């Protein structure tokens, strides 16, 4: 069965907002199921990610113009209105009346005539009054202003304003609201930079080597990278830029024994193996059995032979032999990848940060037991919450005097990371640098 962009979009956002689904999984599933044309694919993707990103902003406006609060509406009506308003306010290519008519059709199809009439009334009212839309005043109430205008939950805005100040928080929110860039990591085991660039250009892509960060390229003009022959041949891996930095900072050497404690789907495991030129040994540990095949598939595709996978809880796993280097790329709140997964804004709660920080500390305590004397351990997360980052390390260091924090300033310089992203010797990348993500990278050394 074929469905159009708006039908796919409403089914996706309904699942994400009302049934706790994940945007990428839901959208990909529906795009395949409904045999969507490539033009509609692009619009459906924009509608889903855009309306999830701007949800608070849209709800604020809807609450000004509808005679029923968004919270009180039924799930379909609420999300149909969000999609309609997103087109009116943020998609210049779609004239307001067209957006309105199309949204009314959705309401008829997924609800009933009564809902369609309500949707029509609300959207026409907004269309007539677009110039009078106002948000809470920045000076009077910065938190509410940022919360609704830039569309973030109150608790995140409050935390960031405290940590970074008002203007920096606005910059961070703005950057997280941009469409994420596509970054790939060249597989140095299989191909040179020049060859990869030529191949991808021949496939119609635009590709740019990222200065100072080995193996990293920014690509554009192509949306389904995993369909390319070059991807299938293992010549590159799709990975965030900051995530690529993690492997470079751990810097494993040929022939070493390395532990990756939280390894699925294997992005960093495979990078470490590439840096080791397939020589040595990597143990890729992961809690979830169902993710192990992903690691194995990635290793196979990329031509990596030195990885052994195992399913164990990283908080309890034991080893007979120690490791030269360890990576603890811990499960985290993911606040740094909001641009890729905007529903994180609405799903994560402050108590999750607390629970996760406990898990992260336990992983670090257990993982670090297996590091050789003189060995190095990298702790990383894709979040910007201090409680999950520097505070976890400080709690660890307070009880483990055989470890010290390695000052990453000079390594960071080598990768062109500005000093404002270094805190207490560790790297806290914000979405205002080279990529619209946030990432934390710290290194510990065992002294005795
Ligand atoms: C941030 S992801 C790792 C990403 C991976 N390093 C990469 O670059 O592809 C964290 C991983 O930790 C796993 N995990 C969660 N709890 C764990 C635990 N207690 N022990 C080991 N792994 C765990 C999750 O299933 C997830 O795959």
Domain of 33, CATH number, reads 1.10.940.10
Residues 170 and 68 in one domain: no
User: Whose CA is closest to 384, among 326, 444, 445, 426?
Assistant: 426
- Catalytic residue list: 382
Percent of the chain topping pLDDT 90: 98
d(CA 137, CA 131): 16
Partner residues linked to 441 by β-bridges: 380, 427
Distance 243 CA to ligand 1 centre (A): 14
Residues 270 and 371 in one domain: yes
Q: Using an 8 Å Cβ cutoff, are 364 and 333 in contact?
A: no
State the number of CA atoms in the 13 A half-sphere of 393 facing the CB: 25
Query: In testing the pocket of ligand 1, which one of 22, 263, 363, 389 has its CB within 8 Å of the most ligand atoms?
Result: 263
**Helices then strands (H, E): number in the chain?**
19, 13
Residues 309 and 397 in one domain: yes
359 Cα nearest atom in ligand 1: 19
Residues 258 and 228 in one domain: no
d(CA 36, CA 295): 30
Residues 76 and 127 in one domain: yes
Look at ligand 1, atom 6, and give the residue with the nearest C-alpha: 263
Where residue 403 falls (left for φ over 0; alpha for ψ -120 to 50; beta otherwise) is beta
Residues 33 and 122 in one domain: yes
Annotated binding site: which residue ranges? Answer: 262-268, 286, 313, 329
d(CA 36, CA 33): 8
User: Do the domain assignments include residue 110?
Assistant: yes
Q: How big is the chain by its Cα radius of gyration, in Å?
A: 23
Residues 280 and 415 in one domain: yes
Q: pLDDT tens, 194-217?
A: 999 999 999 999 999 999 999 999
Residues 72 and 154 in one domain: no
pLDDT the model gives residue 224: 86
Residues 58 and 186 in one domain: no
User: Do the domain assignments include residue 137?
Assistant: no
Q: pLDDT tens, 220-267?
A: 987 789 999 999 999 999 999 999 999 999 999 999 999 999 999 999
Q: What is the ipTM of this complex?
A: 1.00
Residues 281 and 425 in one domain: yes
Residues 248 and 232 in one domain: no
d(CA 281, CA 227): 30
Is the backbone peptide bond immediately before 265 cis, with ω within 30 degrees of 0? yes
Distance 386 CA to ligand 1 centre (A): 19
Q: Using an 8 Å Cβ cutoff, are 157 and 65 in contact?
A: no
Is residue 344 pLDDT above 90, yes or no?
yes
Distance 293 CA to ligand 1 centre (A): 14
Return the H-helix or E-strand segment holding 141. none
The encoded tokens of residue 108 equal: 């008829």
Centre a 10 Å sphere on the Cβ of residue 133 and count the other Cβ atoms it contains.
Answer: 13
> Considering 196, 223, 238, which residue would you say is the last residue of a domain?
238
Quote the domain boundaries for residue 284: 241-446
User: Do the domain assignments include residue 403?
Assistant: yes
Domain CATH for 202: 3.30.70.1170
Is residue 22 pLDDT above 80, yes or no?
yes
The encoded tokens of residue 63 equal: 């609450």
User: Do the domain assignments include residue 114?
Assistant: yes
Distance 223 CA to ligand 1 centre (A): 26
Kindly give the residue spans of alpha helices, DSSP state H, lying in 276-423: 292-302, 344-347, 350-368, 390-399, 409-414
Annotated binding site for S-adenosyl-L-methionine: which residue ranges? Answer: 262-268, 286, 313, 329
The encoded tokens of residue 325 equal: 């280097």
> Considering 132, 167, 201, which residue would you say is the last residue of a domain?
132
User: Whose CA is closest to 377, among 414, 448, 328, 309?
Assistant: 328
Look at ligand 1, atom 13, and give the residue with the nearest C-alpha: 262
Residues 387 and 345 in one domain: yes
Number of domains in the chain: 4
């Amino acid at each position: 069965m074929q469905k159009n962009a708006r039908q796919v979009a409403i089914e996706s956002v309904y699942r994400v907002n009302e049934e706790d689904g994940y945007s990428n999984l839901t959208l990909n599933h529906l795009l395949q199921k409904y045999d969507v044309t490539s033009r509609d694919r692009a619009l459906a993707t924009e509608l889903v990610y855009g309306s999830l990103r701007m949800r608070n902003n849209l709800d604020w406006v809807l609450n000004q113009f509808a005679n029923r609060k968004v919270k009180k509406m039924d799930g379909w009506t609420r999300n149909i209105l969000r999609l309609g308003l997103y087109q009116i306010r943020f998609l210049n290519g779609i004239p307001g009346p067209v957006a309105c008519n199309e949204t009314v059709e959705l309401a008829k199809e997924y609800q009933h005539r009564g809902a369609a009439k309500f949707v029509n009334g609300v959207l026409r009212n907004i269309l007539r009054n677009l110039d009078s839309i106002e948000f809470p005043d920045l000076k009077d109430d910065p938190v509410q202003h940022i919360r609704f205008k830039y569309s973030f939950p109150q608790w995140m805005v409050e935390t960031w304003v405290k940590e970074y100040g008002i203007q920096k928080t606005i910059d961070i929110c703005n950057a997280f609201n941009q469409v994420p860039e596509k970054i790939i990591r060249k597989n140095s085991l299989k191909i040179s930079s020049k060859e990869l660039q030529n191949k991808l250009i021949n496939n119609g892509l635009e590709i740019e080597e990222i200065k100072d960060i080995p193996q990293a390229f920014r690509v554009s003009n192509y949306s389904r990278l995993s369909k390319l022959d070059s991807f299938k041949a293992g010549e590159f891996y799709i990975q965030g830029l900051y995530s690529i930095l993690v492997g470079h900072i751990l810097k494993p050497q040929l022939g070493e024994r390395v532990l990756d404690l939280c390894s699925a789907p294997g992005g960093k495991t495979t990078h470490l193996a590439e840096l080791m030129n397939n020589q040595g040994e990597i143990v890729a540990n992961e809690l979830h059995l169902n993710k192990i095949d992903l690691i194995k598939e990635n290793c196979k595709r990329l031509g990596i032979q030195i990885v052994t996978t195992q399913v164990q809880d990283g908080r309890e796993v034991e080893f007979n032999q120690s490791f030269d280097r360890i990576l603890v790329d811990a499960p985290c709140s993911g606040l740094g990848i909001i641009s890729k997964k905007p529903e994180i804004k609405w799903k994560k709660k402050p108590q999750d940060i607390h629970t996760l920080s406990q898990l992260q500390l336990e992983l670090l305590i257990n993982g670090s037991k297996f590091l050789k004397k003189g060995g190095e351990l990298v702790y990383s997360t894709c979040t910007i919450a201090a409680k999950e980052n520097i505070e976890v390390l400080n709690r660890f260091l307070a009880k483990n005097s055989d470890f010290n924090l390695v000052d990453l300033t000079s390594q960071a310089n080598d990768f062109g990371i500005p000093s404002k992203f270094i805190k207490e010797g560790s790297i806290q990348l914000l979405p205002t640098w080279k990529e619209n993500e946030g990432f934390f990278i710290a290194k510990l050394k065992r002294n005795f």
